[in-house]
């Protein structure tokens, strides 16, 4: 069928305004936040109701049209780069919060609801939705589920997966599949909601998502510890956990990151430091006081050059503003920013950091490292220029080696950014060929024509 | 192939002592804890290493032999009743705790490790594995994962699913599939570990499981609140949560349960009460003190006739001993105990209890109700005699209606006991035919000959 005829078919479902096909529309949705080549779709569809997602998916399946569902496109692994000539389906029109149940501590949302807006609405009702990925100001909840987005609070509160109670989604036939429940316990049938988590749009098209909510902590305290040696900082991370303190946030910035962040934010970070830890404990006020005191003692014992607790809400905001700007600050340094996501058991953080620094030296590239030290989830960020082929080749070699180091430390390729198109070729190293085969058998049964976001997670050879 | 020849083939893998085939062996493994008819297997295989599970599974697949993996057989929905003439594979020889990592807060276990023994070993290292299903003294961790077992601490700490970080399992070809990681964040590939949860042995054979551990609470306080009206008790449950107190345990026993439990345990329960709530709060000592005070105030305000806090460890133990004996106590009353598991959003507990009581009256049957009120997960327990066909017919009608009521309150068929063979025929009512079709397409791709615990979860018509 010609593109124009297909457009007419889609218009019957979503209306004339819901089908975008100008050159500029198509190019706008040809890339995401990953450092990968764009691919131009043939049509962009913008449904206005979740019910339209069923017929849209069915139509794609009937015509064997590759279909990529896109929220805000903040994906860092190419999960929302469309298949060339395929269809992009936008969820930003599907942004209703359908229910926030204060008695039963859950919410039901459409997939296009923006993460931070949802968290704010939940907070207004005196409740708490903890997952806070770096892109939360624009990222959507559907995308968060599809990628199992993490964030700064993963250590104590877990990641998106830990808040998914159920998902209703459309299969390739356009039929609605129901999984999970509004109850906190549910074992009715396969854990299909769990299967959707991190499936990157390859197994179904989300209609509604039920999220667990929790009561918010009554108090919190943020601290900054400064180190003249990054090893001491990473030892401190391990010591805090070993002392059975579970901060809600335990973040590290290395020297390179600190320099760029301070230049960008003027937050007052100590630019001479080799590393800083940003630590926040929360909970009952007495617990917060106890934990904060213990954290300060541990930092001092291991050799922090200073430890400072934020005394005001403003001071606290300033610390987190600095951390949240680590990526934008680093991204300003060079034309290309390769943000890595290899993750290790947290006790291996010192070894991982040493490994990354050796790799930076070996390949003569600039790497700024920051991230969720408490989760073992660091983001070594390579500052480079993709147009410089010789340099970018060294970058690719370095990324390879970063994965090797993470796996040798019993870590994983990706803590929270997903596999997408960026990392599928490394999957077999961490898992096994049998694991890919098992996944592929499942995928082919669920999506025989391979229309659901093809080329993501598993490289089909 | 004859049974004797097959036995020889299995002996090559697990040794002569690992193949059981006497009449009494076969009958011993023909049933589980569900009220369902037994089915006699043709062979019982007892591997001594997890590596043997691969070749055992492959052999079953080659011969199209139905295979049911069995831990302790404490399943309440028939998930471990074998296929007639199939093979039972016992995991009780696979009971090694391979690693308890105190720095990184995880453990790696074989599937046959007993839940309570694992929790005790973890506690010895100063850590905490919260899931505590009723059968924990004998149940195995593999079974807990396969059923997504819950328990008394679900309200605050979640269920088995919330502690699974990764699972290595064998597919039908006997190949090892790897999912998840020793890292707290991992998005490398499909969430196959999550898919294994609650899959009741139908999608893979577990080899090793990686569990998350947490620091234990520093203090706790158990209380008993007595009510002369069950509505007041269930309103109290909702009010506690609405006040943003999340007790680790919030259990209810109704009048019928109290009577039987007291007769059995002599724990000093008030036999004249219409309901009691057993409540435990835990955490930082100051938080525990605050929360306990608030709980007492809420109970009194709503009209508890008395509220008593356990002052000693002995008193606390006595309360939980009484609760843990609810099922055994009720089970002594009549020859057959039908333990139901329908679950509702917690605010619907009052409506659910009224519904169950109406049903008991309508069908003239005795129902004792106890369970995890804080999770909306009650266990209406029907006391009857399966041999009395007329009575048992009424029981079956009552069970049907209990499900109808739960679903009408936006609840679920099963909170924690699984679907197994007992509830598969109701699955479509809660989900949809498309949901079953989707599940079945996936199952058939993963297990084309249908050897992995056939007949469970989805009724194949």
Overall fold of domain B3-90: 3.30.43
Which of A103, A106, A166, A187 is best to mutate for the B interface (most B CBs within 10 A)? A187
Q: How far apart (Å, rounded) are the C-alpha atoms in residues A437 and B278?
A: 49
What does the block give as tokens for A76? 């860092």
Confidence at A111, pLDDT banded by 50, 70, 90:
very high
Overall fold of domain A219-328: Alpha-Beta Plaits (3.30.70)
Q: How many CB atoms lie within 10 A of CB B370?
A: 27
Taken in order B352, B353, B357, B358, is the CA torsion positive or negative? negative
Interface subset of B 211-270, CB within 8 angstroms of A: 214-216, 238, 241-242, 244-246
Q: How far apart (Å, rounded) are the C-alpha atoms in residues A162 and A360?
A: 35
Confidence at A461, pLDDT banded by 50, 70, 90:
low
Given a contact cutoff of 8 angstroms between Cβ atoms, the answer to whether A446 and A201 are in contact is: no
Q: Could B195 and A190 be called an inter-chain contact, meaning their C-beta atoms sit closer than 8 Å?
A: yes
Q: Does A99 touch chain B (CB under 8 A)?
A: no
Task: Give pLDDT, residue A129.
Answer: 98
Task: Give pLDDT, residue A90.
Answer: 98
Q: Is the pLDDT of residue A431 over 70?
A: yes
What does the block give as tokens for A9? 């078919």
Q: How far does A21 lie from chain B, in Å, by closest CA?
A: 33
Given a contact cutoff of 8 angstroms between Cβ atoms, the answer to whether B34 and B75 are in contact is: yes
Overall fold of domain B99-212: 3.30.465
Chain A residues with CB-CB distance to B415 below 8 A: 183, 185-187
Q: Does B340 touch chain A (CB under 8 A)?
A: no
Which of B182, B195, B372 lies closest to A191 in CB terms?
A: B195
Q: How far does B460 lie from chain A, in Å, by closest CA?
A: 14
What is the second-level CATH architecture of the domain A1-216? Answer: 2-Layer Sandwich (3.30)
What does the block give as tokens for A40? 């131009």
Phi, psi (5° rounding) for residue B407? -65, -35
Q: How far does A409 lie from chain B, in Å, by closest CA?
A: 10
The percent of residues above 70 in pLDDT, for chain A, comes to: 100
CA-based nearest residue in chain B for residue A176 = B434
What average pLDDT is seen over chain A?
A: 95
Q: Does B197 touch chain A (CB under 8 A)?
A: yes
Q: pLDDT for A193-243, tens place per residue?
A: 999 999 999 999 999 999 999 999 999 999 999 999 999 999 999 899 989
What does the block give as tokens for A378? 């660091």
What is the second-level CATH architecture of the domain A334-408? Answer: 2-Layer Sandwich (3.30)
Q: How far does A438 lie from chain B, in Å, by closest CA?
A: 7
Q: pLDDT for A56-95, tens place per residue?
A: 999 999 999 999 999 999 999 999 999 999 999 999 999 9
Overall fold of domain B334-450: Alpha-Beta Plaits (3.30.70)
Which of A198, A244, A446 lies closest to B438 in CB terms?
A: A446
Q: Radius of gyration (Cα) for chain A, nearest Å? A: 22
Task: Give pLDDT, residue A435.
Answer: 97
Task: Give pLDDT, residue B275.
Answer: 96
**Could you give the count of Cα atoms lying within 13 Å of B332 in the half-sphere of its Cβ?**
13
The count of CB pairs under 8 A between chains A and B is 293
Residues across chain B: 461
Q: Does B101 touch chain A (CB under 8 A)?
A: yes
User: Which element (helix H / strand E) includes A87?
Assistant: strand A87-90
Q: pLDDT for A44-65, tens place per residue?
A: 999 999 999 999 999 999 999 9
Task: Give pLDDT, residue A280.
Answer: 97
Interface subset of B 132-151, CB within 8 angstroms of A: 147-148, 150
Domain boundaries, chain B: 3-90, 99-212, 219-328, 334-450
Which residues make Cβ contacts (< 8 Å) with residue A270, sequence separation at least 6?
Answer: A226, A258, A276, A306
Using the structure block, give the residue that is written with the tokens 């597919």: B171
Chain A residues with CB-CB distance to B435 below 8 A: 177-179, 189, 192
Q: Listing from the earlier edge strand, what are the strands of the sheet with B377-384?
A: B306-309, B219-227, B275-283, B249-254, B366-372, B377-384, B336-339
Q: Which parts of chain B sit beneath pLDDT 50?
A: none
Quick one: which of B71, B68, B79 has its CA closest to B43? B68
Task: Give pLDDT, residue A2.
Answer: 87
Q: pLDDT for A29-45, tens place per residue?
A: 999 999 899 999 999 99
Quick one: which of A7, A98, A99, A87 has its CA closest to A51? A98
Task: Give pLDDT, residue A460.
Answer: 67
Task: Give pLDDT, residue A267.
Answer: 86
Indicate if B334-450 has the same CATH topology as B219-328. Answer: yes
CA-based nearest residue in chain A for residue B346 = A104
Q: pLDDT for B148-191, tens place per residue?
A: 999 999 999 999 999 999 999 999 999 999 999 999 899 999 99
Q: How far apart (Å, rounded) are the C-alpha atoms in residues A164 and A6?
A: 35
């Amino acid at each position: 069928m010609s593109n124009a005829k297909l457009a007419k078919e889609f218009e019957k479902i979503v209306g004339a305004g819901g089908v975008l096909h100008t050159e500029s529309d198509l190019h706008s949705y040809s890339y995401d936040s990953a450092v990968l080549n764009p691919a131009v779709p043939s049509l962009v569809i913008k449904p206005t109701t979740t019910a339209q997602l069923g017929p849209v998916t069915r139509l794609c399946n009937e015509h064997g049209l590759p279909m990529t569902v896109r929220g805000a496109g903040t994906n860092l692994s190419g999960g929302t780069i469309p298949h060339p000539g395929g269809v992009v389906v936008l969820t930003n029109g599907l942004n209703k919060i359908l229910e926030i149940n204060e008695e039963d501590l859950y919410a039901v949302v459409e997939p296009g609801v923006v993460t931070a807006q949802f968290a704010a609405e939940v907070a207004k009702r005196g409740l708490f939705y903890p997952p806070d990925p770096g892109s939360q100001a624009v990222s959507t909840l559907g995308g968060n589920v599809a990628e199992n987005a993490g964030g700064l609070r993963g250590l104590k509160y877990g990641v998106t997966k830990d808040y998914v109670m159920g998902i209703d989604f459309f299969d390739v036939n356009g039929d609605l599949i129901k999984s999970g429940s509004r109850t906190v316990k549910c074992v009715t049938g396969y854990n299909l909601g769990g299967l959707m988590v991190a499936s990157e749009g390859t197994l179904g098209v989300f209609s509604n998502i039920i999220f667990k909510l929790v009561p918010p902590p009554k108090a919190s305290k943020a601290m900054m510890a400064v180190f003249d040696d990054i090893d001491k900082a990473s030892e401190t991370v391990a010591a805090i956990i070993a002392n059975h303190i579970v901060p809600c946030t335990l973040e590290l910035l290395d020297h390179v990151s600190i320099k760029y962040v301070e230049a960008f934010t003027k937050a007052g970070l100590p630019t001479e430091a080799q590393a800083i830890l940003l630590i926040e404990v929360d909970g009952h006020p007495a617990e917060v006081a106890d934990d904060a005191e213990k954290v300060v003692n541990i930092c001092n014992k291991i050799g922090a050059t200073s430890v400072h607790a934020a005394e005001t809400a403003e001071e606290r905001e300033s610390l987190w503003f600095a951390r949240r700007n680590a990526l934008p600050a680093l991204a300003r340094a060079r034309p290309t920013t390769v943000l890595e996501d290899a993750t290790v058991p947290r006790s291996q953080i010192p070894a991982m950091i040493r490994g990354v620094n050796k790799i930076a030296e070996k390949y003569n590239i600039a790497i700024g490292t920051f991230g969720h030290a408490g989760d073992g989830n660091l983001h070594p960020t390579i500052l480079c220029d993709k147009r410089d082929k010789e340099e970018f080749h060294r970058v690719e070699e370095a990324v390879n080696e970063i994965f090797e180091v993470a796996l040798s430390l019993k870590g994983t390729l990706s803590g929270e950014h997903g596999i997408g198109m960026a990392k599928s070729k490394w999957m077999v190293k961490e898992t096994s060929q049998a694991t890919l085969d098992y996944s592929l058998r499942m995928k082919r049964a669920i999506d025989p024509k391979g229309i659901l976001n093809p080329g993501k997670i598993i490289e089909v050879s």
